Amino acid sequence: MLKLPQSAYVSLRRHGEETYPHECCGVLLGQIGDNSVRTVTSVARAGNTRTDSAHNRYNIDPKDLIRIQREGRGRGEDIIGFYHSHPDHPARWSQTDLAEAHWFGCSYVITSVEKGKAVLTNSFELTGSGENHKKLVDEKIEVSPPEGSPDGNRPQKMRAARGQPIGRDHAAISASPNDPAFVARPAGKPVYYGFQVLDDVNVDGFTLGKITDFEEEPCDSGDAFVVAPDNSRAGLVWEVHEPPYFEEVRPADPERWGVWAVSFPFPMTDRENARRNLQTVLPRLNEKWEAWRRGGGTKPR
């Protein structure tokens, strides 16, 4: 398992957005505890030296890596993982990623960045007995809220890794013959296009869309989105949890009215419970949507 403070989670995803359409890369520093749980205490950005193919490859300068390692040790931190982005490509490792991964027992975090916006973040542990027998294995990411927040001592299971099925909209048309629509979103389509909108999970004009397919595989945490009455959208990072919480993961921008970490009281086992959960968080979501509209948010076409 990889444990991340929310500031680090936001930072590495933002890094991928800033370097789009090129891959970003960086280093995760922290400690490895019992049961090989890796706890990140800081992240260090690094430059991508792959000028020949920076849109789909990355390389960290060895001098940068030595410097980051030295500075980390001065703070009592070790290198426990790495991160990079996949511009307009799924957040899963490629054969090149595996071939170029050499730090056994470390985490390799990948964020898919769709049209300049971070979508999914997954993590994989490099395991094996050597270069000829290595593999990248799915691992869960646990993201902790900021210190001083009402739930500052409660870790949030922001999402499981690639093992969770994705709620694809198979009728969505992709801009690429090789990628699904949520990766290759056609021009003019709204954010989260390519994921399934559940038209019957609707409360007061707000409709739930699923990124994590809880119907195929019931789970206690995942990703989703909400479509407002004007077709504008916001992201949800949800978990079934008591007591309730509602926190910002990503601020609003012209394309969406934020991404929000929310707790649901009812198990996500079917659409009726999904509707009940949407109804529970809707008052806060409506507030955020109205504030975004008052601030001049751009409505999708």
- H-type helices in 148-220, by residue range? none
Within 13 Å of residue 9, how many CA atoms lie on the same side as its CB?
A: 28
14 φ, ψ (degrees, to nearest 5): -65, -35
Q: What is the CA radius of gyration of the chain?
A: 19
Within 13 Å of residue 51, how many CA atoms lie on the same side as its CB?
A: 1
Sign of CA dihedral 175, 181, 185, 188: positive
Residue type for position 109: V
In order of 150, 223, 283, 297, the CA distances from 240 in angstroms are: 17, 12, 18, 30
Within 13 Å of residue 99, how many CA atoms lie on the same side as its CB?
A: 6
Q: Quick check: helix, strand or coil at residue 104?
A: coil
CB-based contact 27:43 (threshold 8 Å): yes
In order of 57, 91, 113, 124, 152, the CA distances from 87 in angstroms are: 10, 9, 5, 18, 32
Q: For strands 141-144 and 2-5, give the pairing.
A: parallel
Active site (annotated) includes residue 23: yes
Catalytic residue (choose from 23, 77, 125, 239): 23
Q: Which residues are catalytic?
A: 23
